Structure 1
Amino acid sequence: MLTPLLTYLVIINLISFFMMGFDKGQAKRRKQRVPEKRLFIFAALGGALGGWTGMRVWRHKTKHTSFVIGMPTLLVVNALCVYLIWGQLLQP
């Protein structure tokens, strides 16, 4: 029962992580970027840990207040949601 939740979280976090890296590469090459709204949507859907880690690994969006505050906030919200869902799944 928990396997689909864990699989979803791993996938959404990997996507968020690599989207951050892709956007950083696009920024360096002055190519079309990933919209900030999309980065936040993936973070809000459970990928905040991947997005925040991507920010740190690629040093990307670290001077944007909305990301510096938003990603950790979404990470806390994600953790709370997972905790609540996990608790519901474990009940008989």
Structure 2
Amino acid sequence: MNISRAEQRVLHALAQGGCISRLYDGRGRIAEVLCFTRDGHVLSDCDLAVFNKLLRKRLIESKASSPYRISHAGRRSVRSQLDNR
């Protein structure tokens, strides 16, 4: 499966224990998403487009209206991240 660099960064943060919380607009639609690392920092690479791609590929999931976390399929597809930033 082809996964972009931004999607890989988000999946890597989620695999280490992070989560994605969502903010709704007045009509009940998702207006903004925030990806938190396990340390509580906000990941800037996660925007609504990346969130929708991960959701469509079923690499993230939410159970009982909790924040989104990495799914089993997401754990299988994430690659190790190099430190070449």
Q: Compare the two structures and name the one with the higher strand fraction.
A: 2
Same fold (TM over 0.5): no
Larger Rg: 1
TM-score by length of 1: 0.30
Larger helix percent? 1
